[in-house]
Amino acid sequence: MTTPPGSTGPNGNADRPWLRTDLPVEEHVEALLAEMTLAEKVGQTHQSANIDPIADAELIRGGGIGSSLLASGATAGNERDAGIRVSTIDAVQRIAVEDSRLGIPLLFARDVIHGHRTVFPIPLGLAAAWDEDLVLRTARLAAAEASLDGIAWTFAPMLDISEEPRWGRVAESLGEAPVLAGRLGAAMVRGFQGDDLGEGDSRGAGSISACAKHFVGYGLVAGGRDYETVQVGENTLRNLHLRPFRTAVEAGCATVMAAFTDVDGVPMHAHRRMLREVLKGEWGFDGVVVADWDGIGQLVNQGVASDLRDAAAQAIAAGVDIDMISGAYAAHLAELVESGRVPLDLVDDAARRIIRLKIRQGLFERPYMGATTSEPVLGPEARALAREAAAASFVLLTNNGTLPLSPNLGRVLLTGPFVEEGEALFGTWTLDGRGEDVASPAAAIRERLQDNAIVDDGRFSDRTLHLVRQADVTVALVGEHPSRSGEANSVTDIGLPAGQLEVLRAIAAIGKPLVVVVFTGRPLDLGEVLDLADSVLIAWHPGVEAGPALVETLFGDRAPGGRLPMTFPRSVGHLPTSTHAHPTGRPIAADADGVTGRYLDALVVPRFPFGWGLTYTTFNYGPIRLSSNEMPLNGGSVEVTVDVTNSGTHAGREVVQLYLRDLVADVTRPLLELADWVSLELDPGSTGTATFHVTPAQLSYYDRTMTLRIDPGEAVVTVGPDASSGTSARITVTQ
Ligand code: BGC
C-alpha cells in the first residue's frame, strides 16, 4: 500500500482537513465540497482520454480534470492500443495528489469488459453459462489484474436487453432476458467491486468500480444499426429494459453510463426523466452517471442542442455527472452557472457524487494503485478459470451422437479459419489480452492426439478436401472474426461469413462425420449448416484458453453445459424475435397442417429458442408440483418442484428454467418470461429436484400509470429445458 506523503491518514492532514480519510463518507464528501471553488467542482466533471503527465500537467495542477479514460479512440473495442503504462498513471496521479490545491486523486478508467490480461469468453458467451458464481469469479480476477495496472474503474457490465442479432454490440451483452442479464450483471458488479470498493491487498490488487451501461434502451436501435434512434414507450422501458439496471444498482453498482441513442425523441444524455427522476430519484441511486464517448457533444448532432454550451446545460440538468471527452462541461459549465442558466445545485450534485465515488473507491488512502509486485499474471489459477469459463459457455445446438468424439476414433482433422488463431479467439473489447497468450485449438489437438491429429493451415480451401479424405472425422472451426461484432459492426446478413458454407458443403459431400464449431459474437442463421453437420457447437469467442476448453469438450472430458442467452432466429426476415412476445388480438395458431403461421413463407417459431442447449446426455422431466394452487398477494409464495432424471449415459448439467405468464393484467404482458433457473449436475440414472419459489413480486409489473402492481388472478407457471417446451400449471394470486 502506498501512502502519499503528508496528504492522507487521520494524522497526516492537519493542513488539509478535507483529506481526512477517517471521516464517515458523507462528512468527508461535504468537507471536501465546502473547500472547492466552482472551477474545481467543474474540473471533477471533466474526463479526458489518455491523460499525459507532461502535456496535461497544468490542467491537472489547476484541478481542471477529475478522471481519465485509457482508450485508443471512439470505438476502442475494435482496436489494439499500446497497453497501459502504470508509470504514466502514477506520474499523473502524483501531480493531482501532490501539486493540485486540494490534492484530489484522479480516477483512471478502462474498458475491462471480459477479463484484462486473462481473457474470458465475450459477455454473451459468459451469459450462456447461466452461472452467477462463474461470472463473479471472472470479474474478480479481472479487477485484480486491472487494478495492478492502475485501473480503478471499468465500463461494464453492459446490460442492454439484446434481442437483435444484426446489432454487433450483442456480443458485449448478457442476453435478452431481464432476469438473466440482471442477475449475471449484479454478479459482475460484485466481482469487480468486491465486498468493499476500497479494499486492496498489499500488492494493490483489489476492487474496481463497475458501470452499468448503456442507460437505457440502446438494444432497440432501429434495424440493428448501431447508434440509430430508439422508439419505445416508458411502459416497455420499465417492464423490460430498465430491469437489469435496477438489479445492478441494487447490487451497489457505483456508476451508470448514458446511452448514445435517443429514446422516443429525447437523447439519453439529455433525458432528465430517466436519469434524474427515475434512476437518481425513484431508485435512490447515489453513484455517478457518466456520459458515453462524446455523448454530450453528440446532442448537437442529434439536433436537440444548438451548440456545445447548450448541450452542457441540458446534460447537467438531465443528470449526467461526468462528461466523457466532449469538453462541454470544462468549457461552459462554470459560465452557465455564473450566468444563471444552470443552478449551482446541479454542479454540486455532480461533484458530490464524483467525490463520493473516489472516497468509496479508497483513492484518498490509496491513490497509486499500480503494481508493486513481480508476481506473474496469467498463472495456472487464472488459466484454469479461463478454461472453465470457456467450456461453460459452449452451447451444443445439434448432435446426432458424433460428439463426444471417441478416443479410439482414429485421425481427426481440425480445419477452418480459426485453427491457429490467437487474438481472433478473444472477441471484441479485448484491450489487454495478448495473442501470444492464447492456447490455440491446433496446439491443443496436437497435444492430445499426437500423430492422429491432422491440422489444416487455416485457409479453408480446396486443399482441405484432401485432408478430409485422410481423416476419420473432420472438426471445422468456422464463424465470425471478432471484427464483425462489437461496436459499430452491425450486419444485414447473419449467416456465416462469405465462403465458409461452400467449403462446408464440399466437406459434407465426402460423407465422413463432420463436427462444426462456430465462433461468433451474435446468434447466427446457420440454415443449411445444421443439415450438413453431424453436430454443431456454438463456441462464441472463448478467450485465452479456447483451444484446451474446446478439445476437452469435443472429447467429452467436459460436457457442454451452456444454454442460449439469445434466441437464434430462422432468418433476418424474422427479426425481431425473442421471448418478449406479447399476446395479440389474433393469437398465432397452428393451421390445418400444423404449421404455425404469421408469415406466408416461413415458420414463425425461432430456429433455436432462448434457453436451448444440448449436452452429452438426455433428461426426462417429471410432472410439475405446486405447494399450493393459490398465492396470497401480500407475502405469499408457492413452491414449485420438478424432478429431472438423467436418462442417458453421461453425467451432465441441466439448466432447469422457470417461466411465468400473467394471464390478465392492466397492460399486455409477455406470453412467457424467464423468472428463475436452477442448475442440476446429474450422473447417469440419477434424479434431482429443481425447486423454485414463485413470489408475487415475480408477477409484478408497471401498469398504464407507470405504477408497480401485482394483480389478483391466474398465472401460468412453466418449468422446462428452454423457452419452447416444458410442463405447466396454473396458480391463482389471491387478495
Ligand atoms: C462505448 C462504451 C465505452 C466507451 C469508452 C463508447 O464508444 O459505447 O461502451 O465504454 O466508448 O471506451
Predicted pLDDT at 595: 65
Q: Would you say 513 and 473 are in contact if contact means Cβ atoms under 8 Å apart? A: yes
Predicted pLDDT at 2: 36
As a whole number, mean pLDDT of residues 186-213 equals 85
Tens digit of each residue's pLDDT (9 = 90 or more) over 471-481: 999 999 999 99
As a whole number, mean pLDDT of residues 628-654 equals 96
Q: Is 213 in the pocket of ligand 1 (CB under 6 A)?
A: yes
Which of ligand 1's atoms lies nearest the C-alpha of 260?
8
CA 672 to ligand 1 center in whole angstroms? 33
**β-pairing, 514-519 with 535-538?**
parallel
Which of 68, 214, 256, 292 to mutate to test ligand 1, by most ligand atoms within 8 A of the CB atom?
A: 292
The three three-digit cell numbers of residue 35, written as one number: 473547500
Q: Is 109 in the pocket of ligand 1 (CB under 6 A)?
A: no
Tens digit of each residue's pLDDT (9 = 90 or more) over 415-434: 999 999 999 999 999 999 99
CA 486 to ligand 1 center in whole angstroms? 11
Q: Which of 211, 181, 180 is nearest to 193 (CA)?
A: 211
Q: How confident is the model at residue 395 (pLDDT cuts 50, 70, 90)?
A: very high
Which of ligand 1's atoms lies nearest the C-alpha of 77?
12
CA 112 centroid distance within chain: 11
Which of ligand 1's atoms lies nearest the C-alpha of 213?
9
As a whole number, mean pLDDT of residues 498-506 equals 97
3-state secondary structure of 377: coil
Q: At what angle do helices 344-360 and 38-45 cross, to 10 degrees?
A: 60
* Atom 10 of ligand 1, nearest CA residue: 155
Q: Is 172 in the pocket of ligand 1 (CB under 6 A)?
A: no
Is 7's pLDDT higher than 50? no
Tens digit of each residue's pLDDT (9 = 90 or more) over 168-177: 999 999 999 9
CA 75 to ligand 1 center in whole angstroms? 7
Q: Is 325 in the pocket of ligand 1 (CB under 6 A)?
A: no
Q: How confident is the model at residue 404 (pLDDT cuts 50, 70, 90)?
A: very high
Q: Is 507 in the pocket of ligand 1 (CB under 6 A)?
A: no
Cβ contacts of residue 511 below 8 Å, gap of 6+? Answer: none
CA 213 to ligand 1 center in whole angstroms? 9
Is 238's pLDDT higher than 80? yes
As a whole number, mean pLDDT of residues 487-508 equals 98
Distance in angstroms (rounded) separating the CA atoms of residues 58 and 54: 8
As a whole number, mean pLDDT of residues 278-295 equals 98
CA-to-CA dists, residue 83 to 72, 431, 520, angstroms: 9, 7, 25
Question: Is the backbone peptide bond immediately before 157 cis, with ω within 30 degrees of 0?
Answer: yes
3 secondary structure, DSSP code: -
Q: How confident is the model at residue 3 (pLDDT cuts 50, 70, 90)?
A: very low
CA 293 to ligand 1 center in whole angstroms? 6
CA 375 to ligand 1 center in whole angstroms? 31
As a whole number, mean pLDDT of residues 29-47 equals 97
Other beta carbons less than 10 A from residue 296's beta carbon: 29
Q: Is 110 in the pocket of ligand 1 (CB under 6 A)?
A: no
Other beta carbons less than 10 A from residue 629's beta carbon: 12
Predicted pLDDT at 163: 94
* Atom 8 of ligand 1, nearest CA residue: 292
Which of 487, 489, 490 to mutate to test ligand 1, by most ligand atoms within 8 A of the CB atom?
A: 487
Distance in angstroms (rounded) separating the CA atoms of residues 44 and 572: 45
Q: How confident is the model at residue 6 (pLDDT cuts 50, 70, 90)?
A: very low
Predicted pLDDT at 61: 98
* Atom 11 of ligand 1, nearest CA residue: 293
Share of the chain above pLDDT 90, in %: 87
**β-pairing, 708-709 with 619-621?**
unpaired
As a whole number, mean pLDDT of residues 118-127 equals 98
Distance in angstroms (rounded) separating the CA atoms of residues 143 and 68: 18
Which of 48, 155, 158 to mutate to test ligand 1, by most ligand atoms within 8 A of the CB atom?
A: 155
Query: What's the start-to-end Cα distance of the chain, in Å?
Result: 57
CA 292 to ligand 1 center in whole angstroms? 6
Cβ contacts of residue 607 below 8 Å, gap of 6+? Answer: 525, 526, 530, 568, 569, 570
Q: How confident is the model at residue 204 (pLDDT cuts 50, 70, 90)?
A: low
E-strand ranges in 591-704 read 619-621, 625-626, 630-632, 638-646, 652-662, 673-682, 687-694, 701-702
Could you identify the residue written with the cell 458485449? 172
Q: Is 292 in the pocket of ligand 1 (CB under 6 A)?
A: yes
Which of ligand 1's atoms lies nearest the C-alpha of 71?
12
Which of ligand 1's atoms lies nearest the C-alpha of 158?
9
Cβ contacts of residue 536 below 8 Å, gap of 6+? Answer: 396, 397, 398, 399, 515, 516, 517, 518, 526, 529, 530
Which of ligand 1's atoms lies nearest the C-alpha of 75?
7
Cβ contacts of residue 395 below 8 Å, gap of 6+? Answer: 128, 537, 538, 560, 562, 563, 564, 612, 613
Size (the chain), residues: 735
Rg (CA), the chain: 26
Which of 72, 79, 111 to mutate to test ligand 1, by most ligand atoms within 8 A of the CB atom?
A: 111
Predicted pLDDT at 506: 98
Q: Is 487 in the pocket of ligand 1 (CB under 6 A)?
A: yes
Q: How confident is the model at residue 118 (pLDDT cuts 50, 70, 90)?
A: very high
CA 153 to ligand 1 center in whole angstroms? 13
Q: Which of 218, 304, 311, 315 is nearest to 259 (CA)?
A: 218
Higher model confidence: residue 22 or residue 502? 502
Distance in angstroms (rounded) separating the CA atoms of residues 731 and 629: 5
Predicted pLDDT at 79: 87
Cβ contacts of residue 108 below 8 Å, gap of 6+? Answer: 67, 68, 70, 89, 93, 150, 151, 152, 153, 369
Tell me the helices (H) and strands (E) count for the chain, helix number first: 20, 27
Tens digit of each residue's pLDDT (9 = 90 or more) over 350-380: 999 999 999 999 899 889 866 555 556 899 9
* pLDDT, the chain, mean: 94
Q: How confident is the model at residue 597 (pLDDT cuts 50, 70, 90)?
A: confident
CA 521 to ligand 1 center in whole angstroms? 17
As a whole number, mean pLDDT of residues 139-154 equals 94
Q: Is 155 in the pocket of ligand 1 (CB under 6 A)?
A: yes
Sign of the CA dihedral 296, 301, 302, 305? positive
CA 261 to ligand 1 center in whole angstroms? 13
Predicted pLDDT at 633: 92
E-strand ranges in 275-320 read 288-290
Catalytic residues: 292
The three three-digit cell numbers of residue 713, written as one number: 388472478
User: What pTM was estimated for this model as a whole?
Assistant: 0.97
